[in-house]
Amino acid sequence: MIWPRGQAEGGNMEQFQADSWIGGRSVASSGDPIPVIDPGTGAQIGLAARGGSAEVDHAVAEATKAFHADSWRRVDPHIRGRLMWQLARDVAAHRDRLAMMLSLENGKPLRNSHAEIQTVVRYFEYYAGWADKAGGRLVPVPGNAFSYVQHEPLGVVAHIIPWNYPVDIFARGVAPCLAVGNTVVVKPDEHTPLTTFEIAKLAKDAGFPDGVINIVNGTGEEAGVALANHPGIQALAFCGSISAGKSVLRAAAERIIPVVSLELGGKSAQIVLPGADLKRAAGGAGGGICYNTGQSCGARSRLLVHESVAEEAAELVARAMSGVTVGYGPEDPDMGPLSSREQLESVMRFVEAGKSEGAILREGGTAAVVEGRDGYYIRPTLFTGARTGMRIIEEEIFGPVLAMQTFASEEEAIALANDSPYGISAEVWSPDISSAHRVINALDVSHVSVNGTGGFGIEVPFGGVKNSGIGREGGWEGVLQYSRVKSVWINTD
């Protein structure tokens, strides 16, 4: 549970506390609690439990017990679906409170927080419908025999969640996992534990058996490492940095268990082909990089335009960025703060690198001043004249920084877009469908949007290739990856 703790430091907002949630009840921290900071003010708004190996042991034991209980694994699948549907209804009923909590701990504009809470609702609604439909198939075989394939749950699945979309990514992995009968132990990021913790509490109210959903709050170095290496885990799902993802893979390899989902970084490109609607494309690029303050694995942070329209494109993007209001998330600006002081400092280092390496700063590049708010704000930033080899082209920035390159031909545009160790997404602006398909088929990414930003629907599989990760979540593919296949052969002689 999250309890009010009087006044937050430096403001009039309630102070919150998020313990771990294990076996259907709140479990206090075994270590010194972790401050939760509002990135829009820099003030402490709560405390998170600092769980470690003891809490992970406890959570895995409870999840294991729940997995083997008749009340979960062997219950009629439609009952699991009903519980998930009820949780969706309960989250929807508390959407205003949850959205405000998310905006406070993460910094995102209130409308975006509402959208993320609605995404949680839709994930649990969608996968509630799959709970009694994840069946197998009959396989034709010769002779007096028949064979079939069935899907079974994996067991206890660990989910390690990042701070940029804390409840979206929670629901995206946990909902399909539960639909096929697994139980979960979730480690939220220590910077954004509050809303996830509250959703776990709502799951108990919805009727989920104790131990099906467990939350261990704590740092990655303590709780995260203990969870990834725990012998009682049957599978892992992780979203975060490449270095941490490699550690997760090593931990899984040591015990030969699957990493069903690994979503890592991105450096996605937008290609504006000749003849495409340049005004729409530039507006989409300038506004799109500001969504979630650029803190998205799929952010299209590279803009590729034909050399003949480079100056016009730069002017249109700069104009779109200059109209973006930067402000305090709960007051619903166009763009909120970065997630932390460290993240702001990191993004500003990239800005300085862009300038020192010869790119042209066309817009932004400075901290933003928000009256009465001592948070981690930055102006949307555009660089032109960017070239391969520059850090702003090669590295993931995780901030509202857009780097523009030019191309002379479609082939060069494709080569530039593919010249990255990442491969999570791309965007193509095209005047006709044949050109769009030609480019789509040549891009080495897992997801492409055409003539518009977005397209990451819950019904659509999402994931990465190359250094962006492995596995797919969303759609039917999300159900498949959280189950294992058993084949059966029955002789009838």
pLDDT tens track for 280-322 = 999 999 999 999 999 999 999 999 999 999 999 999 999 999 9
Fold of 16-264+468-488: Aldehyde Dehydrogenase; Chain A, domain 1 (3.40.605)
Of 485, 482, 491, give the one whose Cα is nearest residue 150: 485
Catalytic-role residue among 125, 222, 263, 363: 263
For residues 5 and 393, the model is more confident at: 393
- Using pLDDT thresholds of 50, 70 and 90, give the confidence band for residue 454: low
Please give the average per-residue pLDDT across 193-213, as a whole number.
98
Rounded to an integer, what distance in angstroms lies between the CA atom of residue 156 and that of residue 255? Answer: 14
pLDDT, residue 457, reads 84
Please give the average per-residue pLDDT across 372-400, as a whole number.
98
Whether 4 has a pLDDT exceeding 50, the answer reads no
Burial, 12: exposed, middle or buried (Cβ in 10 Å; 0-12, 13-18, 19+)?
A: exposed
Rounded to an integer, what distance in angstroms lies between the CA atom of residue 192 and that of residue 104? Answer: 9
- Torsion angle in degrees (nearest 10) through CA of 270, 273, 274, 276: -80
Token pair for 92: 């929807």
pLDDT, residue 8, reads 44
- Using pLDDT thresholds of 50, 70 and 90, give the confidence band for residue 70: confident
Please give the average per-residue pLDDT across 236-244, as a whole number.
95
Rounded to an integer, what distance in angstroms lies between the CA atom of residue 161 and that of residue 172? Answer: 11
Rounded to an integer, what distance in angstroms lies between the CA atom of residue 122 and that of residue 171? Answer: 9
pLDDT, residue 222, reads 96
- What digits encode the pLDDT tens for the residues 107-126? 999 999 999 999 999 999 99
297 has catalytic annotation: yes
pLDDT, residue 3, reads 34
Please give the average per-residue pLDDT across 15-27, as a whole number.
95
CATH 3.40.605.10 maps onto the chain at 16-264+468-488
Rounded to an integer, what distance in angstroms lies between the CA atom of residue 382 and that of residue 98? Answer: 33
Rounded to an integer, what distance in angstroms lies between the CA atom of residue 299 and that of residue 394? Answer: 14
How far, in whole angstroms, is CA 34 from its chain's centroid?
22
- Using pLDDT thresholds of 50, 70 and 90, give the confidence band for residue 148: very high
pLDDT, residue 290, reads 98
Token pair for 135: 């069946």
pLDDT, residue 29, reads 81
Catalytic-role residue among 198, 297, 363, 473: 297
- Answer whether CATH 3.40.309.10 is correct for domain 269-457: yes
Residues 6+ apart with CB under 8 A from 366: 378, 379
- What digits encode the pLDDT tens for the residues 78-88? 999 999 999 99
Token pair for 123: 């994930």
- What digits encode the pLDDT tens for the residues 401-440? 999 999 999 999 999 999 999 999 999 999 999 999 999 9
pLDDT, residue 31, reads 83
Please give the average per-residue pLDDT across 162-188, as a whole number.
98
Three-state SS sequence of the chain:
CECCCCECCCCCCECEEECEEECCEEECCCCCCEEEECCCCCCEEEEECCCCHHHHHHHHHHHHHHHHCCCCCCCCHHHHHHHHHHHHHHHHHCHHHHHHHHHHHHCCCHHHHHHHHHHHHHHHHHHHHHCCCCCCEEECCCCCEEEEEEEEECCEEEEECCCCCHHHHHHHHHHHHHHCCCEEEEECCCCCCHHHHHHHHHHHHHCCCCCCEEECCCCHHHHHHHHHCCCCCCEEEEECCHHHHHHHHHHHHHHCCCEEEEECCCCCEEEECCCCCHHHHHHHHHHHCCHHHHCCCCCCCEEEEEHHHHHHHHHHHHHHHHCCCECCHHHCCCECCCCCHHHHHHHHHHHHHHHHCCCEEEECCCECCECCECCCCECCEEEECCCCCCHHHHCCCCCCEEEEEEECCHHHHHHHHHCCCEECCEEEECCCHHHHHHHHHHCCCCCEEECCCCCCCCCCCECCEECCEECCECHHHHHHHCEEEEEEEEECC
CATH 3.40.309.10 maps onto the chain at 269-457
